[in-house]
Amino acid sequence: MRMMIILPFIGIIERETTMNVQKKISLKDRYRILTRGLDWETSYQPMGKVFPDVGFEGIKIRNWDDFNDPFRLTMDAYWRFQAEKERKLYAVLDSFSQNNGQTAITDGRYVNTLKLFLTGISPDEYMAHRGFAHVGRQIPNAGLRISAQMQALDELRHAQTQIHTIGQYNKHFSGLHSFRRMHDRVWYLSVPKSFFDDAVTAGPFEYMVAIGFSFEYVLTNLLFVPFMSGAAYNGDMATVTFGFSAQSDEARHMTLGLEAIKFILEQHEDNVPIVQHWIDKWFWRGYRVLTLVAMMMDFMLPRRIMSWKDAWDIYFNDAGGALFGDLARYGITLPKYVDVPAKEVNRLSTEAWSIFYQYTHAAAFHTWLPTDQEMDWLSASYGPDWDRLYRPRFLHWRQMEKEGHRYYNNALPQLCQVCQIPMAFTEPDDPTRVAFRDTVYRGERYHFCSDGCKNIFDHEPEKYVQAWLPVHQIFQGNCGGASLDQVLDWYGIEKGVDNMDYAGSPDERTWKEWEAMRGRVAG
């Protein structure tokens, strides 16, 4: 039986019914009817001029209408949801502030993870916002465009709410006051900065694969779960609440990433090798940024959640394995160099923390040597090799501190041309040898920390020869001057307050005063 239903404003919809079952119109059809005609083919300007960035990456799209808008969310509904999330979060932040929530954390050292997050990650949330705004502007499909626009707004919200959440700590602790300036200037922050600079200067399809898929889907759990669980384990309810508020957006982000990559792969088989290279590249780029997370988990959290190794097993090997098992159906393989993280999983965080310990005078957070108990935890997590190779190093540095000769490295390190990490990481198959790779391009030699980074450079050398490398810039006199003090001033690092060891820092004094007050009240 064929039925005609007349709906006000919408017109006539034909519906087929069988067996006298009355069916409603599906949500999908309702949305289609609501939004029909809101996208159009341009007439007095060619489409190619209106969407100029969509063609140059070599991605072939046969039919834009094949993109399946998975959300079907109107802006009206979007604003209502986000406004309510804000109200909830800011109520918690008010209560945090009124109840001196900062005194409830496990230890003053914990705040250093927030410094790393605010200077390293929050500005990249803002860059993610810009990247999705670019995708939203450039993609000639209404569903993808509106999804990208909403995600751009989400990322802006994340940046703002992170700043406001962690801003609570800025009233009491050092190193949080100039996060934006530091992000643009400080040597180690060029690692996350260059990651997102690379992404937002790519075309819209590469950005979707780099951030929408590789980062939001494959690696995001390795970034946010450690920080947010770390906050929960260490009594930081403000950051935990931010985490919940952001996580409610993540489902949309992950879904968009998956729908986008499926769409690109299904549109044309010529897209498969292009996407494969992007997955290879952004897996490796993302993994290098995660070095900072590994270090945070294993060395900086007063109360540990799990080791970097456990996190890698759960969030990459298990979850990523399932994903790549499914992607294999498109002919996509596991990222190139995927075996390397497993080879260096036992030492990544230790090598990173060792760099920061040596360069504590140039860091915007405090450092310390692991205690005996913490070293026992590391050796239990990473096995006898950790005791053999790294415990003696920390014991040696401890001895030097005792003798009044705390070790500082005053030479500027060589940086990898791609990921910008100091070249202090070792060969995947030999933890006693530092890894160096290089390529000669137009008569200049460029240096890399790994095969992964060299591979990225060799594929697009014109892009990476332009890299702003902090050490080169210091030597060229572009960073405030030739002395450490001048460079720190230019960075916005307050000497003797923001940098150096936790022991003896103003942060430690503040924390000890709070502890003493608690002791007096309790006693």
Partner 1 sequence: MGARYRLTVDPIDRTIDIEEGQTILDACLREGIWLPHACGHGLCSSCKVDLVEGEVDHGRASSFALMDFERDEGKVLACSAMPRSDLRIEADIDLDPDAHCHPVRDYDGRVAAIRDLTPDIKGVWIELQGQAIAFQAGQYVNLHLPGIGTPRAFSLANPPSEDRMVELHVRKVPGGEATGYIHDTLREGDPIRLTGPYGQFFVRRSRRAPILFLAGGSGLSSPKSMILDLLEGGWDLPMTLIHGVRTAADVFMADLFADLAARHANLTYVPALSAPDDRPWSGERGFVHEVAERQFDGRFAGMTAYLCGPPAMIEASVTSLMRGRLFERDIFMERFLSAADTAGSRPRSPLFQKV
Please give the residue ranges that form the binding site for partner 1 (CB under 8 A): 16, 18-19, 21-29, 70, 72, 80-81, 84-85, 88, 244-245, 247-248, 250-251, 254-255, 258, 262, 266, 269, 318-319, 321-323, 325-331
Nearest to partner 1 of 270, 430 (CB atom): 270
Q: Do 261 and 209 meet the contact criterion of CB atoms below 8 Å apart?
A: yes
Least CB distance to partner 1 at residue 65 (A): 13
Least CB distance to partner 1 at residue 346 (A): 25
DSSP H/E element including 448: strand 444-448
DSSP H/E element including 472: helix 470-475
Nearest to partner 1 of 259, 507 (CB atom): 259
Nearest to partner 1 of 259, 344 (CB atom): 259
Q: Treating both helix axes as pointing N-terminal to C-terminal, what angle do 237-267 and 220-233 enclose, rounded to 10 degrees?
A: 170
Nearest to partner 1 of 322, 516 (CB atom): 322
189 contacts: CB under 8 Å, gap ≥ 6? 119, 120, 182, 183, 364
DSSP H/E element including 391: helix 391-402
Nearest to partner 1 of 28, 512 (CB atom): 28
104 contacts: CB under 8 Å, gap ≥ 6? 235, 237
How many CB atoms within 10 Å of residue 207? 28
Least CB distance to partner 1 at residue 68 (A): 9
Nearest to partner 1 of 17, 100 (CB atom): 17
Nearest Cα neighbor of 507 from 98, 99, 105, 94 is 105
Nearest to partner 1 of 26, 476 (CB atom): 26
Least CB distance to partner 1 at residue 155 (A): 17
Nearest to partner 1 of 24, 433 (CB atom): 24
Nearest Cα neighbor of 294 from 243, 357, 350 is 350
471 contacts: CB under 8 Å, gap ≥ 6? 187, 412, 413, 414, 415
What sign does the dihedral 324-328-329-331 (CA atoms) show?
positive
Least CB distance to partner 1 at residue 230 (A): 18
Least CB distance to partner 1 at residue 429 (A): 29
As a whole number of angstroms, the distance between CA 25 and CA 3 comes to 13
- Can you tell me whether residue 437 is helix, strand or coil? strand
Least CB distance to partner 1 at residue 77 (A): 10
286 contacts: CB under 8 Å, gap ≥ 6? 195, 214, 215, 218, 219
Nearest Cα neighbor of 267 from 139, 404, 102, 181 is 139
Nearest to partner 1 of 24, 49 (CB atom): 24
Q: Do 151 and 253 meet the contact criterion of CB atoms below 8 Å apart?
A: yes
As a whole number of angstroms, the distance between CA 421 and CA 415 comes to 6
Nearest Cα neighbor of 419 from 192, 243, 200 is 192
Q: Name the one residue in this structure whose structure tokens are 């001196």.
A: 100
- Can you tell me whether residue 56 is helix, strand or coil? coil
Nearest to partner 1 of 275, 364 (CB atom): 275
Nearest to partner 1 of 2, 402 (CB atom): 2
Least CB distance to partner 1 at residue 167 (A): 20
Q: Do 421 and 191 meet the contact criterion of CB atoms below 8 Å apart?
A: yes
Least CB distance to partner 1 at residue 248 (A): 4
Nearest to partner 1 of 91, 497 (CB atom): 91
Nearest Cα neighbor of 452 from 292, 339, 352, 320 is 339
Nearest Cα neighbor of 232 from 224, 240, 220 is 240
Least CB distance to partner 1 at residue 281 (A): 20
User: Would you list the DSSP string of 225-247?
Assistant: HHHHHHHHHTT-HHHHHHHHHHH
Least CB distance to partner 1 at residue 88 (A): 7
Least CB distance to partner 1 at residue 345 (A): 20
